[in-house]
Amino acid sequence: MAFGPFRLWPDERLLTRNDEPVPIGGRSFDLLVALIERPGAVLSKRDLLKRVWSDVVVEDGSLRFHMAGLRKLLADGQDGARYIATQVGVGYAFVAPVERRAATGGASGVAAQSADRVESRGVGRAPNLPPQPRLVGREGDVELLGERIAGTPLFTIVGPAGVGKTSLAVEIAHRRVADFGGHVAFVDFAMLENPAIVPSMIAGAMGIAVDGDDPLAVILGHVRERQFLLVLDNCEHLIESTATIVEHFIDEAPLMRIIATSREPLRVRGEHVHRLGALPYPEDAGRLTTEQILAYPAVELFCSRVAAADSDFAPKDESVRLAADICRRLDGMALPIELVAVRAATHGIPATARQLGERFSLGWSGRRTAQRRQQTLRATLDWSYDLLSAAEAILFERLSIFVGPFSVDAALDVAADKNLGADEAALALDELAAKSLVSVNRTGGTGIYRLLEMTRAYARDKLRVRGGGEYAAAARRHAGYYLAELESITSHDESSLEDTGPLRQQLGNIRSALDFSFGDDGDLKIGVRLAAASAPAFLNLSHLLECQRWCARALAEAKAATGSAGNGIMPEVELELQGALGAALMFTQGSGTAAGDALGRALDLATRLEDSWNQLRMLARLHIFNKRLGDYAAARLHAERAVEVAVQIGDDEAFGIAYSLSGISQYLAGNLVRAREELEQALMRSGPTLRSRTIRYGFDNHSRTGIALAYTLWLAGETEQANRLARQTVRETEQLEHGITQCIALVWGAIIHLWSGDHEAAEEAVDTLSTRAEASALTPYIIAAEGFRGALDFERSLGADALVILEKSIAGLRAARYELLVTPFMLMLLWGLVRGDRSREARDLVEDAISRCAQLGELFAMPELFRIKAELVQRLNSDRATSEILMRDALSLARQQGARAWQDRIENMLSGQDGGTPK
C-alpha cells in the first residue's frame, strides 16, 4: 500500500520512504496498518487499543504516545503533508490517499516497484482531498448530487455562509474517488485574493507541474481526454476568473466533472445549481418527545458537537429542548450550530441559550484549526459583506429592520429613499439573493424574502454603526409600511384574514414596528394608529394579552401627550382601541370595570359617528360582557338595541347577530320556545363561519349561536339532537382555530355532554378547553376547566376532593366575575352534595342559588333548583307536603318554560321513581 512517498509492506512488517526502509516500532507499525486498512474512516480509541494491545491492558496515554511518534516518523504536517487526523473525543483517521498495489517480490523487489509509482509530473492517482467530514442530515443531498455527477459537467452548491457547502462537496468527492480512478483534487480559494493565480492554484492541486506561462493550457493538455473530478471551494470572491476557467473546462475537457461551492451561482454554460438549505430543526419542540427532537439533523449535529467537546455530556430532556431552541434561533445553519456547540460544551447549554441574544454572540469562537473566516460568525459574514457593492451594502443593512419574512414591495418601500432609488434597490435585492445573503421562498409563485437571524443581527449592527439617523429613518419607514398594510386589510380586505399563515409570519414585523413607534426615536401618531390597526390581527391570532398591552399603551400615551382622554386621537382610531381593549380584558381577566368602561366608550363613539356596523359590533361585545357578568337585564337591553340597529342596516348578517343576542337572552330568562326560534333564525341568516367575521366581533357568532341552540335543545329535552349539534359546533370551531370562539363552544359542549352522561365526550372537551385556554391565557376558561375536572372526578368516583375542586372553581369564577357559568357549576355541586349525603350543605347552597338566580333573572335553572330544594326538604324535615308543593311549582314552571329536561326529572320524582338528582 502506497501513500505519498511511503510504501507499506504488511506481510514483511516493513515501511519504506522513496524505496528506503524506515525504522518503525512494532506497536507503531500495527497502528499504521490498522489506520491504512480503512482510510478516511475514524477508528475509535477503544478499537485501536483492542487491535494493537490485544495482549495487555494499557491506558489512553500509550495510544497518544505512539500516535505522536508515528506522526513524527511520517513528517505529518510538514510541507503540507497530512496523514493522520484526530477526531476530538472519538478517535483517529488516516486521511492521505492510499493506493493498493500488487507485490512483485516483497521487500527485495522494492526497487522494481518504483516504475509503478504515480508519475511525478502530470495527473496523479492519489486524490487530493481534505479529510472526510462527519455529515449530519445531508444524505439526501449526497445521494442526489452523487448520482447526477456523471452526466453533469458542473454542479455549483450555492447557499448562505455556514450552511455546510464545503462539507457536502468534500463528502461527495470522497464517495466518488473510485469512479474517477483516484483523479480527484480539491482547491480552496478562501485564502486567495489574486484572480490571476487561480489557474496555477488549480494546477498545483491537481498535481500538474507548470513550466510555461499558460497554466490553463497545461491543465487542459492533461485532462482533455481523461476523467477527473475537480472540487473548487469558496468561489464567490473570485467568481469571474473562476467562471472563465470553468467554461474552458466544460468546452474542452468533456470527461471532466466539477463541483463548485459559492454563495452565488457561477452563471456559466452547463451549470446546474444545487441550493443547499438549512438543516431541519423542530419549530415547536414543546409538543415533541426527546427522541423525536434528537431525530432532527440540526439538533443531532449540535448534540454530537457538544459531546465531542465534552465527554461527560449526556442529552437529557431539558438540555435537548434548549438545544432545539438554539438550533431554531440559528435557523438550522451548520457553522453557527457548531460554533455555539463549542461554547455550550464549556459553559453548559442553559447558560449558552441565555447568552444567545439579539446580537447572536457574533464573536464566539469555534475550532482553532478552522479557517479564519469560519472561526466566528462575524468573520464569516465579514467575508460576504466585504464583497458587496455600495448599493448592496446599504440595502443589506436596511433590510435588517425586518423581523421575519418580507415581500419585494415591502423591501423597496422601506429601503428605498433619495440616496437609494427603487430601481437600484430592486437590482441590489436580486444580487443579495443571488449571493445567499437574503433567503428567498418562491413557493406559490410569490417571492418572499428574509434574512437569517444571525445575518440580520450582523446587518443591524452595521446599520447602527453607519449613523446619520439611518437606523431611525429605516425603522420609521418600516412602521409606516405596516401601518398602511394593516389599515388596508381591516378597512377594505378583511377576507385576507381568513388565512392566518401570512399574518402570523408578519407578527415579528408588527411587534418591531410598535416597539419603535412608542420608543424614544419613534412617532407616537404612527404608534397609536398602528396599535389600532394591529388589534384585529392580535385578536385574530388569539394574542389577547398583547392586544391588551398595545391598546392600553396607545390610549395612555395619547392621553399623556394631549392631556385628556381621547383628545387628539381620531374617533375611529379610539373606537378600535377601546373595543379591542375591552374584549381582551374581558376574556383574559374577566368582566371587570375596566373592560366594561372600554366597551361602553367604544359604543358611545360608534353611536356618535352614526356607524351602525360598529354599533352592532360593540353591542355584541357588551352583550357577552354583561351576560358573563350576570347582568342579564343589561344584556337583554343590548340585544333589543341590536335588533333595532339590524333593522336599520337591513342585512342578513346583521339580523344573524341581533337574533343570536336576543335568543341567548331569552333562554337565560327561561323563554326556551322563543329562544329556539330566534337562535334558529340567527343560524340561518348568519352565514358560514369565517375568520373575518370572527375578528370583527371578537368571537364567531355562527358557532356561538350553534352552541347556545344546542344548550337550549338540551333544556328542552332533545338530548340526542343537542349532543349532535354540540359536537358539530365544536368541530367547526376547531377548523376556525380561534381561541375565544373555541373555548365558548367547548365550555357549553362540556356541560351538555356531562349532563347527558357522556363522560368520555365531556372529558375530551375539557382536555381541549384546558389546552386552548392556557395557550391563549384565557384565565376564566382555565378556572372553568378545573371545575369540570372536579365534576368528572366525582361522577367517576375518582377522588374525595372532587367536590372541593368544584367549589374552588365556583369561587374562582366569581372572583373573575364570570357569573354565567356559576349557576351550571352550582347545579353540579348540588347534585354531588345530595348524592354524597351532605344535605345540610346542599340546603344552604340551594337557597343561595335560588335567591341569586331570581335576582339576576337567570330563570332557566329555577325548575331544577326548586326540585332539589323539594328533595332536601323531604330528606331533612320529612315534610312531604311542603316538598310536594315545591315540586308542583317546579313542574308548573318547567312546563311554562318548555324545559322538558327538568320536567322529566320532576315527574319521575313525583311518581316515586329514582329519576331526580342525576347519578
Nearest to 93 by CA among 134, 52, 136: 134
Mean pLDDT of the chain: 84
Q: Is 80 exceeded by the pLDDT of residue 453?
A: no
The predicted model gives 753-774 an average pLDDT of 93
Q: Is 70 exceeded by the pLDDT of residue 201?
A: yes
- Looking at residue 671, what is its pLDDT? 95
Amino acid, res. 693:
R
Interior CA angle at 877 toward 876 and 881, to 5°? 125
Annotate 256-310 with DSSP letters as a single string.
EEEEEEESS----TTEEEEE--PPP--S-GGGS-HHHHHTSHHHHHHHHHHHHH-
What pLDDT, in 10s, does the model give residues 24-70? 877 788 888 888 887 766 677 877 888 887 766 666 666 777 788 88
644 vs 18, which has greater pLDDT?
Answer: 644
Nearest to 654 by CA among 618, 613, 695, 693: 613
Residues 500, 691: contact at Cβ < 8 Å?
Answer: yes
Is the pTM higher than 0.85? no
C-alpha torsion angle, residues 238, 240, 243, 244 (rounded to 10) = -120
- Looking at residue 154, what is its pLDDT? 95
- For the record, the C-alpha cell of 503 comes out as 399574518
d(CA 351, CA 322): 10
The predicted model gives 57-86 an average pLDDT of 76
What pLDDT, in 10s, does the model give residues 675-726? 999 999 999 987 666 655 555 666 678 888 999 999 999 999 999 999 999 9
- Looking at residue 168, what is its pLDDT? 94
- Looking at residue 359, what is its pLDDT? 45
Q: Is 50 exceeded by the pLDDT of residue 537?
A: yes
Query: Highest-confidence range of 342-346, 521-525, 681-685, 751-755, by mean pLDDT?
Result: 751-755
**For 118, which DSSP code?**
P
The predicted model gives 843-847 an average pLDDT of 93
- For the record, the C-alpha cell of 14 comes out as 516493513
Residues 781, 759: contact at Cβ < 8 Å?
Answer: no
d(CA 752, CA 757): 9
d(CA 376, CA 364): 6
What pLDDT, in 10s, does the model give residues 795-828? 888 767 899 999 999 999 998 888 889 999 999 9
b/e sequence 72-92, b meaning 16+ C-beta within 10 Å: ebbebeeeeeebbbeeebbbb
Q: What percent of the chain has pLDDT over 70?
A: 87
Residues 749, 727: contact at Cβ < 8 Å?
Answer: yes
d(CA 462, CA 464): 5
Residue 682 burial (10 A CB sphere; 0-12, 13-18, 19+): buried
The sheet with strand 271-275 has its strands ordered as 184-188, 228-233, 256-262, 154-158, 271-275
**What is the 3-class SS of 762-821, one letter each residue?**
HHHHHHHHHHHHHHCCCHHHHHHHHHHHHHHHHHCCCCCCHHHHHHHHHHHHHHCCCHHH
Interior CA angle at 310 toward 306 and 312, to 5°? 115
Q: Is 50 exceeded by the pLDDT of residue 116?
A: no
Place of cell 478552522: 370
Residues 159, 263: contact at Cβ < 8 Å?
Answer: yes
What pLDDT, in 10s, does the model give residues 492-519? 555 555 566 677 788 889 999 999 999 9
- Looking at residue 115, what is its pLDDT? 30
- Looking at residue 244, what is its pLDDT? 94
- For the record, the C-alpha cell of 97 comes out as 490517499
Q: Is 70 exceeded by the pLDDT of residue 374?
A: no
- Looking at residue 909, what is its pLDDT? 86
b/e sequence 147-184, b meaning 16+ C-beta within 10 Å: eebeebbbbbbbbbbbbbbbbbbbbbbbbbbeebebbb
What pLDDT, in 10s, does the model give residues 158-195? 988 788 899 999 999 999 988 888 899 998 887 677 78
Q: What percent of the chain has pLDDT over 90?
A: 45
The predicted model gives 287-304 an average pLDDT of 90
What pLDDT, in 10s, does the model give residues 127-156? 788 888 888 888 899 989 988 988 899 999
SS3 625: helix
d(CA 304, CA 562): 59
Would you place residue 397 in the very low, low, confident or very high pLDDT band (cuts 50, 70, 90)?
very high
Residues 846, 865: contact at Cβ < 8 Å?
Answer: yes
- Looking at residue 188, what is its pLDDT? 84
289 — phi, psi (to 5°)? -80, 165
Interior CA angle at 475 toward 482 and 352, to 5°? 105
